[in-house]
Amino acid sequence: MNFETDIIISLISRIREKSSRFIASELKRVGLGDLKPIHGDILLALFQHEAPTMKELAVIIDRKKSTVTTLVEKLVRLGYAKKNQDINDSRIFRISLTDNGQGLKDRLIEISVNLLDRVYTEMPEKERKQVVKSLNRINDNW
């Protein structure tokens, strides 16, 4: 066993934990302490995709549909998102942002920029690209 390279899962886990704490702190700082870091994934997806279904949203953020449903329900309760029945199939709901949800965009982008500044501190662009390329390869193995 090569501990220099075989600790990758532990290292990724530690980075995830630290980034989640950072995001939670930033959410509090900007007055969004009622949200969890995972809500940011959903909100950012909704900024980029107009009215996806729950299933589509789950694929976009790479989470189980049941998890996404629970998270979206909280966003609906907080007034940031709304669910509308699909006009072609009443069994399907489409998720979109309310005006309040749209109003979160600048604060969430600020948090994302702050997070990336922390992640990539003193790391040249070439190394950044290599890290992302390597992590994508690892992710694709699943």
DSSP state for residue 103 in the 8-state scheme:
T
For residue 84, the cross-strand partners are 94
pLDDT in tens, 83-108: 999 899 888 999 999 999 999 999 99
| Average pLDDT along the chain, 142 residues, taken 10 residues at a time | 80 95 96 94 95 95 94 97 92 95 95 96 95 92 87
Six token digits for residue 131: 């890290």
Query: 66, 60 in Cβ contact below 8 A?
Result: no
CATH code linked to domain 3-140? 1.10.10.10
- Alpha carbon distances (Å) from 2 to 5, 6, 7: 6, 6, 8
Q: If you search the block for the tokens 């532990």, which residue do you land on?
A: 10
